[in-house]
Structure 1
Amino acid sequence: MVKKGLLVWLLALAAFGDNIVMDRVRTLMDEETFAAHKKLIDLLFEDQNSYMRSSSVDMVKVATTLEENGLLNLALPSARQIELIFEYGGENPLFFMKLMTDTLRNMGLSFILTKEARLEKEGFVWRVTFESKTVPDPVLLAKRLEKNRAVVTDLERLDAAEWRYRIEMDGAVVDAKPIRAGESLKIVRPIRPVWMEVGAIKRLIIRELPGSHWYADVVVYDKMLRILSMKQNETRTRYLNLRLPADAAYVKIGDRFTLENLRSGLKLTAKGEK
């Protein structure tokens, strides 16, 4: 009798898993497409346990399967306002917004507007909008985030032009170029401020190269992107010797007025190993 009851419970649990996977598949599609391709969808997601990650559905894997089989429709009939909602449950919204901004920019989305930035007990919510004929590829976005050790844990299509993401950033890192003690490198004609990873050094020397006309705009951050110090010069800067605090993790280097001033670039030299 006990064995029979256990079997019934296991079958019910399996059926629940099947239902939850297919329910989540439907959230990434419009009803017409789902109905038209139901047989193919049933075949693609026949092994539904393989789309489970612990007790939740691996929505990036679901989206990948749909995309590979031409079932993830991201095109819109005409240009309209697209809204992306990013949810983050951690304690560092500045870090989160930088990582997301960099990721979207690397996908070609440079002109986004913040519709809402809200800090709640459950975490941080950032809504952005922009006009386009195509919704950003969620599979590509997830892969780009993975490069910075961030993970899309949930994904939902709320509307053809409105998508929601839940993102985990426990091991995430800023997209910054590392520099070690004794190394030198050049920054030439940057199109945006340059981020350097400086957690392993004590000093960073920055020299203006001939042909440039630099007005220093340099900010030092800790690993949580809290500002530790900054240098913003109204006069030309030919040489800057930054003594980095023990908890310095990143340095952002730009120009006070315009990056066009760095036509010939800057030379960076790292000194002192931590």
Structure 2
Amino acid sequence: MVRIFFFFLLLFSFSYGDKLQSTADGDLLIKKIKSLINPATFAKDRAYIDTIFSPKEDYFTSDGKVNSLKVIKTLKENGILNLFFKKPRDINITFKTQGEPQFFVKIMSDSLQNVGYYRYVTSESTLSESEFVWKISLTSEYAADPLVLSQELKKSNCEIIDIIRENETDWAYVVDMKNARLDVSVLE
């Protein structure tokens, strides 16, 4: 009798285990979407969001993390993510990496200038054993577009691996610069 019980338990786990994992993954995706848009927009567009983010599995990386850039791209393409303000506002952007700090600041400075941000102030920089954090402040009529910034960073072989929107004007980017290089021409 006990063997039969465990057999059915095992059969049940194989049958429904993938659905339970899918639900957990869907919750991670919804949590990421909620963090990127304001609550009123999420509530108003919930049914539409469920439709455009189907199948949910398409929005995860191979290691099971939410692909923030793909989520942002879908939100922008469907008019749900608004990066513009009614008037210029102070914006705070945090960049985190595990690479060499001076090299990272050079790459980020060049990338920011190439996307139109010339006037910013370093508000904080910290170096620990595990990561370098660089925080900047600037005034702008719109938040930095993560997709444009990502394309610019790709020119230096850097990749944005996560994006966190703390509020409307505070954003954080986690940048992988394992294969980083300067985007400059080689003189012969």
SS where residue 27 of structure 1 aligns?
Answer: helix
2:91 aligned to which of 82, 90, 112? 82
- Equivalent runs, 1:96-135 vs 2, <5 Å: 96-135=104-143
SS where residue 117 of structure 2 aligns?
Answer: coil
Cα shift at 1:121 = 2.2
2:5 paired residue number? none
* 1:80–1:133 contact (8 Å) kept in structure 2: yes
**1:155-183 CA-partner distances (Å, limit 9, x unpaired):** 01111000010000111111211122xxx
2:21 aligned to which of 8, 13, 20? 13
1:170 aligned to which of 161, 178, 188? 178
* 1:80–1:132 contact (8 Å) kept in structure 2: yes
Identity %: 28
2:3 paired residue number? none
1:66 paired residue number? 75
Report the TM-score, using the length of structure 2 for normalisation: 0.92
Q: Distance in 2 between matches of 1:21 and 1:121?
A: 30
Q: Distance in 1 between matches of 2:152 and 2:73?
A: 14
Report the TM-score, using the length of structure 1 for normalisation: 0.64
Aligned length: 179
Stretches (4+) displaced over 4 A: none
Say whether residues 1:158 and 2:158 are aligned partners: no
Q: One-letter code of the match for 1:81?
A: D
2:154 aligned to which of 127, 133, 146? 146
* 1:76–1:160 contact (8 Å) kept in structure 2: no
SS where residue 177 of structure 1 aligns?
Answer: coil
**1:110-167 CA-partner distances (Å, limit 9, x unpaired):** 1110000100122000000001121111111111111211100000111100001000
**1:48-77 CA-partner distances (Å, limit 9, x unpaired):** 101100210110010011111111111123
2:144 paired residue number? 136
Q: Distance in 2 between matches of 1:7 and 1:64?
A: 34
Q: One-letter code of the match for 1:67?
A: K
Q: Distance in 2 between matches of 1:121 and 1:21?
A: 30
Cα shift at 1:80 = 1.6
SS where residue 36 of structure 2 aligns?
Answer: coil
Q: Distance in 2 between matches of 1:77 and 1:161?
A: 13
Q: Distance in 2 between matches of 1:121 and 1:3?
A: 46
The higher relative CO (CA closer than 8 Å, separation ≥ 6) is in 2
Unaligned runs of 5+ in 1: 181-274
* 1:148–1:172 contact (8 Å) kept in structure 2: yes
Q: One-letter code of the match for 1:15?
A: T
Q: One-letter code of the match for 1:162?
A: D
2:41 aligned to which of 30, 33, 38? 33
Q: Distance in 2 between matches of 1:18 and 1:30?
A: 19
Q: Distance in 2 between matches of 1:84 and 1:49?
A: 29
- Of the structure 1 ranges 9-18 and 153-162, higher mean CA displacement relative to structure 2 is found in 9-18
Q: One-letter code of the match for 2:142?
A: T
